[in-house]
Structure formats: structure tokens, C-alpha cells
């Protein structure tokens, strides 16, 4: 039976009061066979205890929960009162939408109504229409599109707007969306993000995610109010700046997947065990007992009390969970790193969403209990996210459900217990929430097998961080596998094997022992120098942004910092850091380094990194515009503030200063003069001054630059971009920007050769340094230092220790002679 038909629509009705209006709507439902006559009285009873006026001229009368037995079928009736009917507190209802729902089937309708209420012209069109079918089409579960929403959305009187096409390979998911929200919240004006006729508040994470923005979608960022233009520009800069990061993550995942498919499995069963296949999400092999993790099921009664007290109960629960998440974020950052901690920052944003709270409070005002109201609003948003076509975006519904149920448990006084294990176990679940995963007893969990999800889900990300083999998207067959039996999980192949013979178990245990030994050897040898088998040593350092990352890198085996990015001091704030603040940061870095090499890059703003409060002009191609050293020579206020702070900090430990985006010899000559002047101003020590080699002109003219600097540091990411004429943010071309291209390697070889003639030290701080093949080729070319992410250090060091310098020199020459990056990788 249809939920809504034209028989349940009455146009241009007349009623002298609310009671009469409810009876008219109720009778339509009775006549259509949706409800028994007694349910109309239940609807009137609801009006006595709650206000069903939703807003924007819409009222939604419905019956009491205890009278649901009077509902024969879920149905909706709409009565149009063009002259309006006085509801409660003087509100005028022009559309009365009577709902008879046997359970929660009406949630879709309420979501549709809420959306329409943000578009007043759409509501007006329904109040004025003489077409009953238009009302049905607009409010039905599968609404027929009309022109009204699009017209209304673009008619919002914004004072500034800009258009942009999203180029994130994985669409707008929780992590980048959180950064959008953080940027938008810095401004007091109203900011919206439009996708076609739909829009979301840029300060509300769930709203942004529910737009279902995927790669290639055209967006409009619009704002009105104080600083509208500045807010739009800042948000546009922020969303663009994330492109490179999102593309790099996607490309890394693609290459890892290709590598996994190309490599032969370390173990395959010799017998014929039952195999359940999914997607390999975290590599490794493990044997354990299957243990099923079942999510807590909430039975939420609708128990309304005092409206004010209920509202306070909800708000205090949200505040309490927000504080818990803040603690979990800090603990996770210490235990696993900033990337994993960002999951809980995103969850804090999800429950801080004003729309979610407002809808929950509105339900309380309409006579529902706080837990029921929260669950109702929460479920509506979860379902909307799950309905998004993009699986990555739909997966974010799990985050919202996770954090929302934490709030629910707090209100209901339910303690969420961790799973207690007593033996090596492979945990089987439909999915695991981030908090579930972090609370695992790592003493006994040896693998994760998930029936849903994907390789980019939080479960997969955390499994890789924790070093657990993981398989995702294994389907329903996984959930019916007998619990308690022994199984083998292969996270590289993406399979769970059941009924494995003893012979195969023994073989798997041998492989596991070898894998464990390899990991332990890497960890135990991480402090050993990267000395080749024939005695050549290369320094291995880390790329960091702050003292905490530097500390982690040193623990991971870094011998120094080859690149400290100072632009992060300038981002996510409204004013530039002053000299004193910068001095404290740089001094802390020297203290953490304990005398090790510390190369600090001067402010590198421009290209994909923008700072709105600097009021820099908008450029057609910022990667080829005023950035790096070019900007510092123009904005000497920024240059001198930073240089004075650096020279002051250098009194506490050795620092080297590196300038980015140098193109002309005259630039480094001028910068050296400014350095000396700043040094004299604070009576600082003499420091080594170097430049990044990221512009091809510098590599070609390295023999002219080498006498002017103390060191070179090759930035392979930008050098590749400029050499190959490929914007590394380009949605189609970015994967082709491969730093192993022979043309890029040739420029590095030229740089090293010129540097050696003048006794100039050369490091590499781009992504190529952390690639084991890239590290061998760079070593063969003669670089002195490789600087990379902390997680790559131990593996790169081990790779270099396992080969001879002479063999790497031969490899480097073969790479230079290759015709493409693919040929180089095939070496």
C-alpha cells in the first residue's frame, strides 16, 4: 500500500481552529484505510501534550506512541490551508501533514520536509498549488524533482560566492570535511556549500557529508554577513589546499594495492579449506579463533519528562561525550599518531552539529523523551549518509552512529563493555567503530575480519596502524562462519580460511614467524646507520612539522630533521605568529633534537598552501606565482620576524636555514644579506644557509648556485611537477607525476654532480626519498641525506644496508638510461 496518494490531499481547505484542522486531516487517513477512527482522537491527545508545529508554516500532527495499534498501514495526509490555521503560540499552519507511522517509516518524509523548510519558496509553491499530484511528488519518499528548489537555492541573497569543482579522488569524506568546518567556523558570517539545488551549512559536518559530494561535482561556496568575501576566499583556499593531500593518499593506496596484487602470497593452503574472500585492508598472516563482535542494540523508550530538564539531559550528555572524545583524541595521538587521532576530532564535530541538536530539541519540545529524540534525529542522518551513492561517503555513517550511540548510552546509563578475550582471536564483525577498534585487547586480537566496509574505512586504517592483518568487505558468508573454530587470515590476499589442516597451519606459523622476525629486526635495527655492504653511509632524516613529530621520528630511527615545515605555524589562525611565538617553537625543536641536524625551511606559502589573513592577491596559477622565497623578498615583515626567531633559537642548538622556491642567483644573494642583517639584530650565531632545488632552472644551473649556498635539498614533489608540466593536483594527470621519471632523475644527477665539484652537501626531502627503490637510486646518484616520513625510516635504512653502494650506482645509471618511470620501476 502506498504511503501517500492524491486521495489523501485536500486543497484550499477551511478550518476555524487547530482541532478542526486535525480532524479534517485525520478523516482523510480514515477514509483511505490507513487508520482506525480512534487514532484521530490520539492525534488530538498529542496536541494537548506537545507542539507539532514544525516551522515555516508546516505542522505535523501524529498520534501517541501507545496508540500505534490503531494504525492499519503507514500513511500520510496533507491538508492545504491557504489562509492559515492558528496552531500553538500564534503560529500559522498552512500545510498540515498528518502522519500515521507504524514504526519509523516517516523519517524520510520528515527529512524531506526539513529540507523544504530551508527553501521557503518551495513551501510557498505547495501552499499555492491547485495540483494535488505536485504535493505528493514533492513529499513522497522518491520525490519528483521540481524547479523550485534549484531556483530557491541560487536565490539565497549571498554577498560573495565562488565556484569550484571537487577533485578529491575519494570525494568529500569526514577528514577533509572536518577541515572545511574548522575553516568556516573562524568566521561569524553564514556560509553555505551548494551542490546543484542542495546545500549545507559549511559549519555543520553532517550537512556537508550528506550532500554526497564526489569527484567532479561542481560546488558553490556562498556567504553573507560580516567578512563574507574573506570567508569565501578562505574556505576556497582551504578546500583547494587539501587536493594534493587527498590525491597523494589515493595514489599511495593505488600503488599499495597494485604491489599487493603483483606480489606472490607468502602462504597458500595446500589442502582445500573453505575460503571467504574480501578485500585485503592490512597485510600480514595470522592464526586465531573466530570471535564475533556484536554491536550493542539499544531499546529506547519514549519517556518524556519536563521539557527543560530533558533538554539539559541531552545537552549534558553531548558535552560529556565531547569531552571523552577529546581525551580519546589525545590518547590516540600519543599511541598511534595525528592521522588516527583525527577520527575523534571528526566525531566531535559530528555531534556538535547544530542541526542535529536542533532537531533533537525540537522533538523534545514536541513531547518526546531526550533519548528517543536523539535517536530519532541520529537515525535520520545515518540513513541519509548510508543512502549516498559513493561507498566511501556512505561509510561515514558508521562514524556518526558510533558517536551518536555513545551519547545515547550516556543518557540511558548503559556502560559499553569491551570484548574480553582469552586466546589469540580473529575478530569478526559487520563493522567496527573507531572506538571499538581502539578498545581492543591487543594481547589477544591477531586479526580483523569485517563483512562490510572498504580499504579506506577507519577499521582498515587503524588495523594498518596497529599492525593487524585485516580483511574487509567479506560479505554475509563471514557472519555465518561458526564462531570458536580456528581460522587463518591473510590480509595481503584478502581471505579468511576455515577448516585449515594441521599441515597448512604449521606452514602458516612458519611464515608468521618469518614476518614477525622481519618486523622485529626492522624495529631493533632502526638506530643503526644506513651503511651499505661496501661501507658507504647515507644520513636518514625525517620530514616534520613540530617538536612532537620530531620526537616520534627520532624514536623511529631518524638521525636528524631534513625538513621542518614552518608554514603550519601560519595555518588555521587569523593572524601571523609573532617573533616570540616562533622563537619558542624553534627552541623547543632544538631541545628535542639534542644536537642532531635540524633543517628548518623558511615560510613556504603559495601554490597549494594559502593564508587568507595575509591578503595575498589571487593568482591564475599560484604554483607559478608569488610563493616561497619570492613572497619572502616582497613581504620582508614576514621574513625578518622568522629570521630573528631562528637566529635566537639557534643559541640553544644547531639550526640550518633553507629557502624554498629560489629561481635566480640574485634571490639567494639577497636572502643571504637579509640573514646576516637579522643575525646581527639579535646577535645570533652563524648558520648554514641552503636552498631547495625544486625549480628545474636551479638544477640546470646548479654549478652557478653551489658556490652561493652551504647545501642543497631536492624537493622531488615540486621538481617533478615543474619538470613534467603536470599539476600534481590535477584529477586525471596527478598519477603521472612520478618522481622516478628519468627526466627528474637526470636533474637530480646534475645537481649532485655540480654540488660535488664545489663541496656542497645535497639532501632529498621529497616523497621519492621514502620509496625503497627511490632511496637506492638516489644513493647511487650520490646524495648525502634522505629525509622522509617517520614510518618509512626503518625500512629504507634496512634496504640501504642490504645492498652495496656500487650496485646502487649501477642501478642509478640504468634508471637514467630508461625511457619512462614504468621502466625505472621495472628495474
Q: Over the stretch 503-531, which tens digit does the pLDDT of each residue have?
A: 999 999 999 998 888 878 888 889 999 99
pLDDT at 257: 45
Q: Say if residue 735's pLDDT is above 60.
A: no
In the block, residue with C-alpha cell 574487509: 472
Pairing verdict, β 9-10 and 75-86: parallel
Q: Say if residue 311's pLDDT is above 50.
A: yes
pLDDT at 580: 94
Average pLDDT over residues 614-626: 72
CB 459 within 8 A of CB 437: yes
pLDDT at 298: 72
Average pLDDT over residues 27-54: 85
- Kindly tell me the number of DSSP H helices and DSSP E strands found in the chain: 32, 26
CB 49 within 8 A of CB 65: no
Burial class (CB in 10 A: 0-12, 13-18, 19+), 661: buried
pLDDT at 573: 66
Give the residue with greater pLDDT, 564 vs 735: 564
pLDDT at 149: 35
Helix, strand, or coil here: 344? helix
pLDDT at 21: 94
Q: Over the stretch 743-771, which tens digit does the pLDDT of each residue have?
A: 999 999 999 999 999 999 999 997 789 88
pLDDT at 88: 79
Q: Provide the 8-state DSSP code for 546.
A: S
In the block, residue with C-alpha cell 489562509: 83
CB 538 within 8 A of CB 528: no
Other Cβ atoms within 10 Å of 525 Cβ, number: 13
In the block, residue with C-alpha cell 611537477: 721
> Would you place residue 475 in the very low, low, confident or very high pLDDT band (cuts 50, 70, 90)?
confident
Q: Say if residue 476's pLDDT is above 90.
A: no
Lowest mean per-residue pLDDT among 120-124, 237-241, 608-612, 736-740? 608-612
DSSP characters for 270-297?
Answer: SS--EEEE-EEEE--EEEEEEEE--PPP
Give the residue with greater pLDDT, 116 vs 348: 348
- Burial of 540-576, coded b for 16+ CB within 10 Å and e otherwise, reads bbbbbbbbebbbbbbebbbbbbbbbbbbebbbeeeeb
Helix, strand, or coil here: 460? helix
Q: Over the stretch 247-262, which tens digit does the pLDDT of each residue have?
A: 776 665 555 544 444 4
Other Cβ atoms within 10 Å of 428 Cβ, number: 25
How far apart, in whole angstroms, are the C-alpha atoms of residue 805 and residue 780?
6
> Would you place residue 100 in the very low, low, confident or very high pLDDT band (cuts 50, 70, 90)?
confident
Q: Say if residue 775's pLDDT is above 50.
A: yes
How far apart, in whole angstroms, are the C-alpha atoms of residue 490 and residue 634?
56
The set of cell numbers assigned to 570 is 601560519
Lowest mean per-residue pLDDT among 422-426, 479-483, 551-555, 747-751? 479-483
Q: Over the stretch 577-614, which tens digit does the pLDDT of each residue have?
A: 999 999 999 999 999 999 999 999 999 886 555 666 77
Q: Provide the 8-state DSSP code for 695.
A: S
Give the residue with greater pLDDT, 172 vs 700: 700
Q: Over the stretch 418-456, which tens digit does the pLDDT of each residue have?
A: 667 889 999 998 877 766 666 666 778 999 998 876 665
Query: By C-alpha distance, which of 525, 541, 537 is closest to 805?
Result: 537
Element (H, E) at 776: helix 772-781
How far apart, in whole angstroms, are the C-alpha atoms of residue 574 and residue 188?
13
Query: By C-alpha distance, which of 269, 713, 210 is closest to 489?
Result: 269
Q: Say if residue 652's pLDDT is above 80.
A: yes
> Would you place residue 243 in the very low, low, confident or very high pLDDT band (cuts 50, 70, 90)?
confident
Pairing verdict, β 537-544 and 560-565: parallel
pLDDT at 148: 35
Positions marked active-site:
62, 173, 458, 765
Average pLDDT over residues 132-138: 85
In the block, residue with C-alpha cell 558535552: 319
Helix, strand, or coil here: 595? coil
Average pLDDT over residues 710-738: 79
Average pLDDT over residues 615-644: 84
pLDDT at 50: 66
Average pLDDT over residues 310-339: 78
- Phi first, then psi: give them for residue 422, nearest 5 degrees: -130, 0
DSSP characters for 483-536?
Answer: TT-EEEEETTTTEEEES--HHHHHHHHHHHHHHHHHHHHHHHTTTS-EE-TTS-
Q: Say if residue 663's pLDDT is above 90.
A: yes
Considering 68-82, 557-571, 589-603, the range whose residues carry the highest mean pLDDT is: 589-603
pLDDT at 387: 59
Q: Over the stretch 104-116, which tens digit does the pLDDT of each residue have?
A: 455 556 556 656 6
Average pLDDT over residues 165-188: 82
pLDDT > 70: percent of the chain: 82
pLDDT at 172: 79
Give the residue with greater pLDDT, 28 vs 120: 28
Lowest mean per-residue pLDDT among 12-16, 17-21, 454-458, 699-703? 454-458
The set of cell numbers assigned to 659 is 629557502
Mean pLDDT of the chain: 83
Amino acid at each position: 500500500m502506498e504511503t501517500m496518494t492524491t486521495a489523501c490531499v485536500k486543497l484550499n481547505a477551511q478550518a476555524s481552529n487547530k482541532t478542526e484542522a486535525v480532524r479534517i486531516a485525520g478523516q482523510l487517513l480514515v477514509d483511505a484505510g490507513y487508520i482506525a477512527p480512534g487514532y484521530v482522537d490520539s492525534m488530538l491527545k498529542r496536541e494537548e501534550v506537545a507542539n507539532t508545529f514544525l516551522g515555516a508554516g508546516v505542522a505535523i500532527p501524529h498520534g501517541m506512541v501507545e496508540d500505534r495499534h490503531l494504525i492499519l498501514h503507514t500513511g500520510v495526509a496533507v491538508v492545504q490551508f491557504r489562509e492559515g490555521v492558528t496552531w500553538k503560540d500564534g503560529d500559522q499552519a498552512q500545510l498540515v501533514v498528518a502522519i500515521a507511522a507504524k514504526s519509523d517509516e516517516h523519517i524520510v518524509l520528515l527529512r524531506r520536509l526539513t529540507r523544504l523548510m530551508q527553501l521557503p519558496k518551495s513551501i510557498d509553491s505547495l501552499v499555492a498549488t491547485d495540483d494535488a499530484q505536485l504535493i505528493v511528488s514533492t513529499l513522497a519518499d522518491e520525490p519528483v524533482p521540481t524547479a523550485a528548489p534549484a531556483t530557491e537555492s541560487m536565490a539565497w541573497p549571498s554577498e560573495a560566492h565562488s565556484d569550484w569543482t571537487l577533485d578529491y579522488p575519494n570525494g568529500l569524506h569526514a577528514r577533509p570535511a572536518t577541515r572545511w568546518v574548522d575553516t568556516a567556523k573562524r568566521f561569524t558570517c553564514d556560509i553555505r556549500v551548494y551542490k546543484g539545488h542542495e546545500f549545507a551549512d559549511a559549519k555543520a559536518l553532517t550537512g556537508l557529508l550528506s550532500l554526497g559530494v564526489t569527484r567532479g561535482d561542481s560546488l558553490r561556496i556562498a556567504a553573507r554577513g560580516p567578512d563574507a568575501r574573506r570567508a569565501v576566499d578562505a574556505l576556497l583556499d582551504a578546500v583547494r589546499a587539501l587536493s594534493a593531500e587527498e590525491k597523494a593518499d589515493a595514489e599511495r593506496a593505488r600503488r599499495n594495492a597494485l604491489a599487493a596484487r603483483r606480489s606472490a602470497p607468502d602462504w597458500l593452503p595446500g589442502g582445500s579449506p573453505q575460503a571467504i574472500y574480501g578485500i585485503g585492508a592490512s597485510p600480514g598472516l595470522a592464526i586465531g579463533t573466530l570471535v564475533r563482535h556484536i554491536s550493542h542494540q539499544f531499546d529506547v523508550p519514549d519517556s518524556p519528562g519536563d521539557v527543560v530538564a530533558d533538554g539539559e539531559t541531552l545537552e549534558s550528555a553531548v558535552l560529556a561525550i565531547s569531552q571523552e572524545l577529546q581525551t580519546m583524541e589525545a590518547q590516540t595521538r600519543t599511541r598511534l599518531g595525528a592521522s588516527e587521532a583525527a577520527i575523534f576530532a571528526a566525531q566531535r564535530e559530528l555531534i556538535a552539529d547544530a542541526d542535529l541538536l536542533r532537531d533533537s530539541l525540537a522533538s523534545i519540545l514536541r513531547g518526546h523523551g531526550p533519548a528517543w529524540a536523539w535517536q530519532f534525529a541520529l537515525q535520520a542522518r545515518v540513513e541519509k549518509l548510508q543512502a549516498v551513492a559513493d561507498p566511501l561517503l556512505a561509510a561515514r555513517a558508521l562514524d556518526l552512529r558510533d558517536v551518536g550511540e555513545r551519547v545515547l548510552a550516556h543518557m540511558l546509563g548503559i556502560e559499553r563493555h569491551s570484548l574480553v578475550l582469552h586466546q589469540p582471536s580473529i575478530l569478526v564483525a559487520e563493522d567496527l567503530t573507531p572506538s571499538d577498534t581502539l578498545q581492543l585487547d591487543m594481547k589477544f586480537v591477531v586479526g580483523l575480519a569485517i563483512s562490510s566496509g572498504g580499504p579506506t574505512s577507519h577499521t582498515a586504517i587503524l588495523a594498518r596502524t596497529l599492525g593487524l592483518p585485516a580483511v574487509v568487505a567479506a560479505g554475509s558468508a563471514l557472519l555465518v562462519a561458526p564462531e570458536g573454530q580456528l581460522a587463518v587470515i591473510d590480509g595481503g590476499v584478502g581471505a579468511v580460511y576455515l577448516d585449515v589442516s594441521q599441515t597448512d597451519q604449521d606452514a602458516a606459523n612458519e611464515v608468521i614467524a618469518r614476518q614477525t622476525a622481519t618486523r622485529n629486526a626492522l624495529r631493533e635495527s632502526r638506530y643503526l646507520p644506513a651503511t651499505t655492504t661496501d661501507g658507504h653511509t647515507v644520513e636518514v632524516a625525517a620530514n616534520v612539522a613540530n617538536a612532537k613529530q620530531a620526537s616520534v621520528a627520532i624514536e623511529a630511527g631518524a638521525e636528524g630533521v631534513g625538513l621542518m615545515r614552518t608554514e603550519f605555524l601560519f595555518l588555521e589562525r587569523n593572524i601571523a605568529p609573532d617573533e616570540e611565538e616562533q622563537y619558542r617553537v624553534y627552541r623547543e625543536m632544538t631541545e628535542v633534537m639534542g644536537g642532531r641536524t635540524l633543517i628548518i625551511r623558511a615560510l613556504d606559502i603559495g601554490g597549494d598552501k594559502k593564508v587568507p589573513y595575509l591578503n595575498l592577491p589571487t593568482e591564475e596559477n599560484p604554483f607559478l606565482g608569488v610563493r616561497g622565497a619570492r613572497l619572502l623578498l616582497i613581504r620582508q615583515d614576514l621574513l625578518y620576524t622568522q629570521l630573528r626567531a631562528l637566529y635566537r633559537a639557534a643559541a640553544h642548538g644547531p639550526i640550518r636555514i633553507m629557502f624554498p622556491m629560489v629561481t635566480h642567483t640574485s634571490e639567494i644573494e639577497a636572502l643571504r644579506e637579509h640573514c646576516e642583517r637579522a643575525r646581527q639584530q639579535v646577535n645570533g650565531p652563524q648558520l648554514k644557509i641552503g636552498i631547495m632545488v625544486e625549480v628545474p632552472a636551479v638544477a640546470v644551473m646548479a654549478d652557478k648556485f653551489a658556490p652561493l649556498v652551504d647545501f642543497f635539498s631536492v624537493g622531488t614533489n615540486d621538481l617533478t611537477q615543474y619538470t613534467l608540466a603536470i599539476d600534481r593536483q590535477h584529477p586525471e594527470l596527478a598519477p603521472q607525476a612520478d618522481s622516478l621519471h628519468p627526466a627528474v632523475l637526470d636533474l637530480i644527477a646534475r645537481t649532485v654532480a655540480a654540488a660535488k665539484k664545489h663541496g656542497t652537501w645535497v639532501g632529498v626531502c621529497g616523497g621519492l626519498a621514502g620509496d625503497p627503490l627511490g632511496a637506492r637510486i638516489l644513493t647511487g646518484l650520490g646524495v648525502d641525506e634522505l629525509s622522509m616520513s617517520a614510518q618509512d625510516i626503518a625500512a629504507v635504512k634496512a634496504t640501504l644496508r642490504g645492498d652495496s653502494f656500487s650496485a646502487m650506482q649501477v642501478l642509478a645509471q640504468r634508471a637514467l638510461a630508461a625511457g619512462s618511470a614504468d621502466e625505472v620501476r621495472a628495474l
